[in-house]
Amino acid sequence: MSREELLRQLELLHPDCYGWALWCCDGDRQEAEEVLHSAYATILDGRAQFNGRSNIRTWMLGVIRMTSRAQRRRRLLRWLRWERPLVVDSADPSPDPAVVAERNDEKGKLVDALAKLPARQRELLHLVFYQDLSISEAAGVLAISLGTARTHYERGKQRLRELLGAP
């Protein structure tokens, strides 16, 4: 794929990519922007190459996921080695109004229930419901087999039903 085509796809898919980066970074906008910048650089520098085994959107979401995990791993290692402690942004101690509003309505219950799921189930359900990926595409992003993805998908939905008290 040419650089121009990659740039066009990045621009076209940016809203989905940003939303996924934000989710991968637990809602931290600054971290999500850093992850997205690093992922885009990785894609444009050719360190991650699209091989056509999935669609371009699925591939980009996978690159963002791996970039996010690598960035968290590096921060954790720095913290463990005491080279540089994790920095907590205390410049704005007030909560984001959007987050407060979300927690005040029914969506807050869903967010809380999702947080109680194991990470793999949570990621899979997010990709299927919020990123509109098929289970097969989500399996590709998470680098797991389709059978494993289906199992986590069904178990995650069942657990959500239990947590939300749905029939």
Per-residue pLDDT of the chain (167 residues; tens, 9 = 90+): 788 988 999 999 999 999 999 999 988 999 999 999 999 999 998 888 888 888 899 999 999 999 998 888 777 666 555 543 444 455 555 666 655 565 566 667 777 888 899 989 988 888 888 777 889 988 988 989 999 999 999 999 899 888 888 66
**Residue 49: both structure tokens together:** 């190459």
For residue 96, give the DSSP letter.
Answer: P
Q: Which domains, ranges and CATH numbers included, belong to the chain?
A: 1-90 (no CATH), 94-167 (1.10.10.10)
Using CA atoms, how far apart are residues 131 and 134, in angstroms rounded to an integer? 9
Task: Show the tokens assigned to 15.
Answer: 């809203």
Residue 159 near residue 121, CB atoms below 8 Å: yes
Closest among 135, 148, 157, 145 to 58, alpha carbons compared:
135
Instruction: State the pTM of this model.
Output: 0.57
**CA 50 to the chain's CA centroid:** 19
